[in-house]
Structure 1
Amino acid sequence: MANINGSFYQLIEDCEATHKALYKFYAAVMIVIFILALPLNASVLHLFIFKLKFWKSNTNNVFLFNLVLADILLLFCLPIKAYNFIDGERRSKNDTVCKAMLFMLFLNRGASIAFLTVTSIDRYFNVVHPGRKNLLKALKKSPQISILIWLLLLPLTIPTMLKNFDCCNSHKSDAKDDTLVKDVVDSMREVVFFTQILIPFVILVYCTVHIVNRLRKKTVGDKTKLKRAVFLVMSVMVVFSFCFLPCTIARMVLLIVRVQELSESAQDKAAVAFDGLMVLSYMDCLLDPLVYCFCSTKFKGLYLSNYFPFLVKDGAVPLESSTGNTTQPPRNNVI
Structure 2
Amino acid sequence: MANGTVYQSIEDCLATNTALYKFYAAVMIVIFILALPLNASVLHLFIFKLKFWKSNTNNVFLFNLVLADILLLFCLPIKAYNFIHGERRSDNDKVCKAMLFMLFLNRGASIAFLAVTSIDRYFNVVHPGRKNLLRALKKSPQISILIWLLLLPLTIPTMLKNFDCCNSHSQNPDESKQDALVKDVVDSLREVVFFTQILIPFIILVYCTVHIVNRLRKKTVGDRTKLKRAVFLVTSVMVVFSVCFLPCTIARMILLIARVQEWRESFQDKAAVAFDGLMVLSYMDCLLDPLVYCFCSTKFKGLYLSTYFPFLLKGDQVPTESSMGNSTLPPRNNVI
* Contact kept? 1:228, 1:295, Cα under 8 Å: no
Which residue in 2 is equivalent to 1:245? 246
Which residue in 1 is equivalent to 2:83? 85
* Contact kept? 2:124, 2:332, Cα under 8 Å: no
Tell me by how many angstroms 1:6 deviates: 3.8
Select which of 145, 157, 160 maps to 2:155. Answer: 157
| 1:59-74 matches, cutoff 5 A | 59-74=57-72
Partner of 2:72, secondary structure, is: helix
Structure 1 runs of 4+ aligned residues shifted over 4 Å read: none
**Higher mean displacement: 48-57 or 224-233:** 224-233
Aligned residues: 329
For 1:49 and 1:101, the matched residues in 2 are separated by 27
- Deviation string 1:286-319 (CA, Å, 9 cap, x unpaired) is 00000001111110110011111111021x2233
Which residue in 2 is equivalent to 1:321? 321
Which residue in 2 is equivalent to 1:51? 49
Select which of 112, 115, 118 maps to 2:116. Answer: 118
- Cα 1:331/1:222, change in 2 over 3 Å: farther
Percent same amino acid among aligned pairs?
A: 87
Letter in 1 for 2:65: L
Letter in 2 for 1:60: N
Which residue in 2 is equivalent to 1:166? 164
For 1:87 and 1:271, the matched residues in 2 are separated by 18
Which residue in 2 is equivalent to 1:143? 141
Aligned-pair Cα RMSD in Å:
1.6
- Deviation string 1:217-253 (CA, Å, 9 cap, x unpaired) is 0101232322221111101011000100000000001
Question: What TM-score results when the alignment is normalised by the length of structure 2?
Answer: 0.94
* Contact kept? 1:128, 1:210, Cα under 8 Å: yes
Tell me by how many angstroms 1:140 deviates: 0.6
Question: What TM-score results when the alignment is normalised by the length of structure 1?
Answer: 0.95
Tell me by how many angstroms 1:275 deviates: 0.1
Which residue in 2 is equivalent to 1:25? 23
* Contact kept? 1:56, 1:324, Cα under 8 Å: no
Which residue in 2 is equivalent to 1:231? 232
* Contact kept? 2:50, 2:325, Cα under 8 Å: no
* Contact kept? 1:57, 1:324, Cα under 8 Å: no
Which residue in 2 is equivalent to 1:128? 126
Letter in 2 for 1:318: V
Letter in 1 for 2:28: M
Tell me by how many angstroms 1:5 deviates: 4.3
Which runs of 5 or more residues in structure 1 are unaligned? none
- Cα 1:9/1:324, change in 2 over 3 Å: closer
Tell me by how many angstroms 1:62 deviates: 0.4
Letter in 1 for 2:220: T
For 2:15 and 2:28, the matched residues in 1 are separated by 16
Which runs of 5 or more residues in structure 2 are unaligned? none
- Deviation string 1:16-74 (CA, Å, 9 cap, x unpaired) is 00000000000000000000000000010001111111111342100000000000000
- Deviation string 1:103-131 (CA, Å, 9 cap, x unpaired) is 00000000000000000000000000000
Letter in 2 for 1:50: F
For 1:8 and 1:200, the matched residues in 2 are separated by 36
